[in-house]
Amino acid sequence: MINPFAGVGGAVGLKGSDGADTVAAARELNASFGAARRAMPALLKLGGVQIVTAAGPMGEDACREAGLPARVVAWPKSAVTSPTDTRAACQSFIDAGAKLILFAGGDGTARDVATAAAMDVPLIGVPCGVKMYSGVFAMNASRAGELAARCARGPFDVQAVELLDIDESMLRADRSSSRLHGYALAPVDRARMQGSKAQMPANDRADTDAACRQLAAQFEHGTLYIVGPGTTMATLCGHAGVKGTMLGVDAIADGRLIAADASEATLLGLLDEWPSAAIVVGVIGRQGCLFGRGNQPISARVLARVPRNRIEAVASVAKLLSLADGRLFVDTGDADIDRALAGPLRIRTGANRSMVMRVMN
């Protein structure tokens, strides 16, 4: 099941894709509707698997492009699909005997799918949205397809995982309201599934504050710093002398806020103006994602313009030690960029302190 509008608001800075108004705004900003493209690596792993799907852009078109003989059992009510269409399609899958639901979308889509699946049918999410904080998502599309194909070949273990989501209207007002919406079943696979997002404990803040203070003091004159979202990055902006947007991507240079809550297009334009640039991001607790979860304006095209050795990350030691298998990962939607970002990366954990972590693609 593909949510054809998943992720449409990410690169253009809308912080989500929920609702017809957001989709319309994204169209006005010439956003890319790329959920089916993002899901394709998953579908290409499903040869020999019996598949039921929904008509048109909700799955049928992508299955046909991937060469998969899928049986259509659900039909959306209109060209602009809705959560009601998602829930109805998943109920049709279950009625047709589906033992696993593979869906492409974000946290909002996960909640809609889980409403139909209840705690009866396990889910695997292909990350195509803006927010993917829930525990039903695989690390990337390829791993989602690998796991779905493995589950189709025989018995597999499942576990209850958290369904998290953020109120997008509050997010656009730069106010985070992430909350637990319930639980869903997902296959157990530490190598392929991400964890659900964890909040930073209060006792870690002193170390990250010291790391941010030192990093801000080392900002170079004449260099554009692209700063990702999150509370740690908001702390960095404060030490750099600017008020960041916390839940958006900001650009700082020479002690000034050059762009607040920037879109991909804005960042690409700034990179044309500033030959020297660096990127600084935080780490999503318990997940370990650097790029591809909530910071889509720092897209593959933006990352291609900044040398890897000019990418910085800040996180507490406790947060890094909590990561599944001690891994960081990236999921930009561009396999070449993901491979280029893979390898050892030094993470600032405090003043004059750091850890080297391996980034997976």
Give the count of domains, the chain: 2
Q: What pLDDT score was predicted for residue 67?
A: 97
Whether residue 5 is contained in a domain is answered as no
- Shared-domain flag, residues 117 and 213: no
- Shared-domain flag, residues 57 and 108: yes
Give per-residue pLDDT as tens, 226-238: 999 988 999 999 9
Query: Residue 172 CB: number of other CB atoms within 10 A?
Result: 17
> Does residue 175 register a pLDDT over 70?
no
CA distance linking residue 2 with residue 128, whole number of Å: 9
CA distance linking residue 255 with residue 288, whole number of Å: 29
Domain holding 151, by residue range, is: 20-187
Task: Give whole-number Cα distances, 279 to 55, 219, 228, 311, 359, in Å.
Answer: 41, 11, 8, 5, 16
Higher pLDDT, 314 or 22: 314
- Shared-domain flag, residues 180 and 222: no
The mean pLDDT value for 97-101 works out to 97
Whether residue 74 is contained in a domain is answered as yes
22-36, 55-69, 151-165 — which is least confidently predicted?
22-36
- Shared-domain flag, residues 183 and 291: no
- Shared-domain flag, residues 139 and 238: no
- Shared-domain flag, residues 179 and 241: no
Higher pLDDT, 21 or 54: 54
Percent of the chain whose predicted confidence (pLDDT) is above 90: 67
Give per-residue pLDDT as tens, 300-322: 999 999 999 999 999 999 888 88
Q: Residue 12: pLDDT band by 50, 70, 90 thresholds?
A: very low
The contacts of residue 146 (CB under 8 Å, 6+ apart) are 45, 192
Whether residue 336 is contained in a domain is answered as yes
- Shared-domain flag, residues 168 and 226: no
Taking the CA atoms of 318, 282, 113 and 48 in sequence, report the sign of the dihedral they define: negative
DSSP class per residue in 62-124? HHHHTT--PEEEE--SSSS--HHHHHHHHHHHHHTT-S-EEEEE-HHHHHHHHHHHTTTS-EE
Q: What is the dihedral of CA 183, 57, 130, 226, to 10 degrees?
A: 160
Query: Residue 175 CB: number of other CB atoms within 10 A?
Result: 12
